Copies of this chain bind each other. A is one copy, B any other.
Amino acid sequence: MTPQNGRPLATLPEVQKERPRPTIERTKGTTQILAARAGNLTPEIVYVAKRENVSPDLVRDEVARGRCVIPANHHHAALEPMGIGIKLTVKVNANIGNSAVSSGLEGELKKLHTCVHYGADTAMDLSTGKSLDEIRQAIIDASPIPIGTVPIYQVIEEFGPFDWGIKDFLGVIEKQAKQGVDYMTLHAGVLRDHLPLVGNRITGIVSRGGSITAAWIKRHGKENPLWESWGEVCEILRAHDVTVSAGDGLRPGCLADASDAAQFAELDALGELTPKTWDAGCQIMIEGPGHVPFNQIAMNVERQQRVCREAPFYVLGPLVTDAAPGYDHITSCIGATAAGTAGAAYLCYVTPMEHLGLPEEQDVRDGIIAYRIAAHASDIAKGHPGARQRDDDLSRARAMFLWEKQFSLSLDPERARELHARGGVSTHSDFCSMCGPHFCSMKIGKDNGLFQP
């Protein structure tokens, strides 16, 4: 397995030995947004600018105004910092994590390796089974990419689904922050007033954290404790520079529920949280749907940008049809491309197993590549500087029948090589098994002097 072009190194110990990581001096004692607002170029800002081939001043200015986040916990020593924002390339998240019946530590490290190898920019550890702290620490220690979590999963493992209070929750947040978690999904915008709005939906609440939070509010007859204690939450996050990923607990779970009152009421709440979070010296991005008809996607992105003052939008898909279980990496990467083109900065992948079961390694690969396609197509559509270079180089190699060069420039070289080999035609031939030697259009064009690549 070779690392992807310009991507971080893979994470298994035997791979790490092959090529040492770059040494990156790390910020302590402040957050990226506070440093940027003070006009400082942190080592992380400089590193991100170099990776993105933009000026450090641009990254600093974007971080300062909250339009870019650099999820980089002080304690995550293995991190190669990366940025998420509309002025940078669109990023892709992959989910890992064990469940009550699954793999444990070694299995999770293998999954992390798969994510990094196929080019995920970040990974979320969604573990819900045993040994949560141990697995999380191992993942953080091994990971060159930012690691996110959903703390409420640990809260309910430790205290049961509804028998916890804000102090318990803050304790879990602090423990994870000290371990080095770079960003945390917090469903702080699910409010008491919103609950009646989901009653007539077809699929109700489809966010795990959202449904637990809503049920907690209903059972206790109180307001969302994270919303009530947001200042204390931010205090902990600021001490370690954990980025907020404001969860969309009421995201639509089907097309019929998309863009409804519940979804937008929660978005408005997140719009209130955003400047509070910035004022507390923390970074924040906003999570979004979910399931949305293709023609409503750009509207959703524009609305989030307006309501949340351009804080980066982190979308899950969205799926553009509910009718293709088994293919939801495809139904959703269509929506992700529309979202990325409209300005979403960050795409959470969906695998073919969505709605059906827990993904396996091949599903993770399929999901990541589908989303790298969506992210890259969005960069091109937005006219991101240099984004199309890879396509042009690959197309030139294609027209010159430089097969190995085509493979090495592709998003999944192993897959391209494997499928080509299936056709049984040598990589030194000036044709492929699709059209054969006499019917290749590019060969005919070149042989007849119509063009020369």
A166 at the interface (CB under 8 A from B): no
* B-side contacts of A372, CB under 8 Å: 324
Q: Are A391 and B100 in contact (CB under 8 A)?
A: no
Contact of A419 among B330, B352, B435 (CB under 8 A): B352
A275 at the interface (CB under 8 A from B): no
- List residues of A whose CB falls within 8 A of some B CB: 99-101, 128, 153, 161, 195, 198-208, 210-212, 214-215, 218-219, 253-257, 293-295, 320-327, 329-331, 333-334, 337-338, 341, 352-358, 360, 369-370, 372-374, 376-378, 380-383, 388, 390-392, 394-396, 398-399, 406-407, 409-412, 415-416, 418-420, 422-425, 432-436, 438-442, 444-453
Query: Smallest distance from the beta carbon of A229 to chain B beta carbons, Å?
Result: 22
The interface centre, meaning the residue of A201, A214, A293, A322 with most chain B CB atoms within 10 A of its CB, is A322
* B-side contacts of A409, CB under 8 Å: 323
A79 and B391 CA atoms in complex are apart in Å by: 42
Contact of A412 among B327, B374, B381 (CB under 8 A): B327
A415 and B373 CA atoms in complex are apart in Å by: 23
* B-side contacts of A161, CB under 8 Å: 438, 444
A207 and B352 CA atoms in complex are apart in Å by: 33
Q: Are B419 and A325 in contact (CB under 8 A)?
A: yes
- Apart from A198-B451, A211-B442, list 17 A-B contacts with CB within 8 A: A203-B395, A204-B445, A204-B453, A205-B450, A208-B441, A211-B444, A211-B448, A254-B398, A294-B338, A295-B341, A321-B376, A324-B376, A326-B410, A326-B419, A334-B374, A357-B432, A357-B434
Query: Smallest distance from the beta carbon of A1 to chain B beta carbons, Å?
Result: 16
Beyond A435-B208, A442-B204, A451-B199, is A256–B218 a contact (Cβ under 8 Å)? no
Q: Are B198 and A445 in contact (CB under 8 A)?
A: yes
* B-side contacts of A424, CB under 8 Å: 357
* B-side contacts of A210, CB under 8 Å: 441
Q: Are B441 and A326 in contact (CB under 8 A)?
A: no
Q: Are B326 and A418 in contact (CB under 8 A)?
A: yes
- List 24 A–B pairs whose Cβ atoms lie within 8 Å, in order of A's numbering: A195-B450, A204-B441, A205-B441, A205-B451, A208-B435, A208-B441, A215-B447, A255-B380, A257-B395, A321-B377, A321-B391, A323-B390, A323-B409, A323-B411, A324-B412, A325-B406, A325-B410, A326-B418, A326-B419, A327-B370, A327-B415, A338-B338, A355-B434, A358-B423
Q: Are A355 and B432 in contact (CB under 8 A)?
A: yes
Q: List the number of copies, as a whole number.
A: 2
Q: Can you name the residue of chain B whose Cβ is closest to the Cβ of A196?
A: B450
Beyond A208-B435, A391-B254, A410-B326, is A357–B423 a contact (Cβ under 8 Å)? yes
Query: Smallest distance from the beta carbon of A405 to chain B beta carbons, Å?
Result: 12
* B-side contacts of A354, CB under 8 Å: 434
Q: Are B202 and A358 in contact (CB under 8 A)?
A: no
Q: Can you name the residue of chain B whose Cβ is closest to the Cβ of A249?
A: B441
A415 and B358 CA atoms in complex are apart in Å by: 15
* B-side contacts of A391, CB under 8 Å: 254-256, 321-323
A353 and B419 CA atoms in complex are apart in Å by: 7
* B-side contacts of A422, CB under 8 Å: 353, 356-357, 360
The interface centre, meaning the residue of A153, A369, A439, A442 with most chain B CB atoms within 10 A of its CB, is A439
